[in-house]
Amino acid sequence: MAYITVYKAENSPNFLESEVGLVLKTAQVDDTGITADEYGFKTVRGGTAWPSNDTNAEGIVFEDVDVTHGERAASIITGGRVYKSRLPETLQSAAETALKAKGIVFVDEPPAISRIIVDAIPYTAGTTGFTAANIAEADDGSALTITATKNDNDKAIATVQLSSGTVTATKVKAGSTQITCVVSDVNGKTTDITVPITIS
C-alpha cells in the first residue's frame, strides 16, 4: 500500500534587483521568533532581515533556511541591490537604515504595464488617434507613452502614423486589422500591446 502526503509551499518572488555587486557571507540562523507551519516545519524565509528586523540588522537572508531542528548555516546578503517591496515582511525603518549602512541598496520595483483595451477601436477617415492612456495603464499610475509601432497592420485596410505619442489610422478601405504599439514607462520599461482596429 502506498501512502502519499501532499505539502503546500509558498512561491516567493525574486527580491534581487541585480546580481552585480552582490556580497554574501555565511552565518548561523536560528529559529528565534519562527512559528512552525501546519506540518511542523520552521523556515526562515529568504528576504528576512538578519538577525532581526531592527537597528541590529546586519544583512538579508539569501534563500529559505529550514531551522526545524535548530540553527543552520545560511548565506546572508551584506551588499547588493534589493527590491524592498518583494521582501516577505515589511522592513522597519531602523533596519533599512542599518542595512543601507552595510552596503545594501533598496530600489523601487518598476511599475507593471497592463493592457486595458478589450474591444476593437472603430475608425473612419479623419478619426482622432489614440495614445498610451487609451490602451494601457501602469500599476503605479505613472505616465505611459507609445514610442513605436510595428509593421503588423494590413496596409490594404489602413495606414498607420505615430506622431508625438499619438497613433492614427487612416482608412484605405473598410475592414479589420491591428496595430502593435510599443508602450514605454518613465523608467524606460517597454511592452508590446496589440490593438485591434475596425475601419468602417
Range of the domain at 142: 113-199
Q: What is the mean pLDDT of residues 12-38?
A: 89
Three-state SS for 84?
Answer: helix
In the listed set 107, 122, 145, which residue is the last one of a domain according to the structure? 107
pLDDT at 73 over 90: yes
Beta pairing class for 144-149 and 175-185: antiparallel
> 193 and 133 in one domain?
yes
Is the per-residue pLDDT at 59 higher than 70?
Answer: yes
Average pLDDT over the chain reads 87
Q: How many domains does the chain contain in total?
A: 2
55 and 79 housed in the same domain: yes
**72 in Cβ contact with 66 (< 8 Å):** yes
Q: Are residues 119 and 175 in the same domain?
A: yes
Distance (Å, whole) CA 191 – CA 115:
10
Q: Out of 107, 139, 173, pick the residue that ends a domain.
A: 107
Q: What is the pLDDT of residue 190?
A: 85
* Residue 23's CATH number: 2.40.300
Report the pLDDT value the prediction gives residue 1, as an integer from 0 to 100: 46
CATH of residue 156: 2.60.40
Q: Which grid cell is 139?
A: 500599476
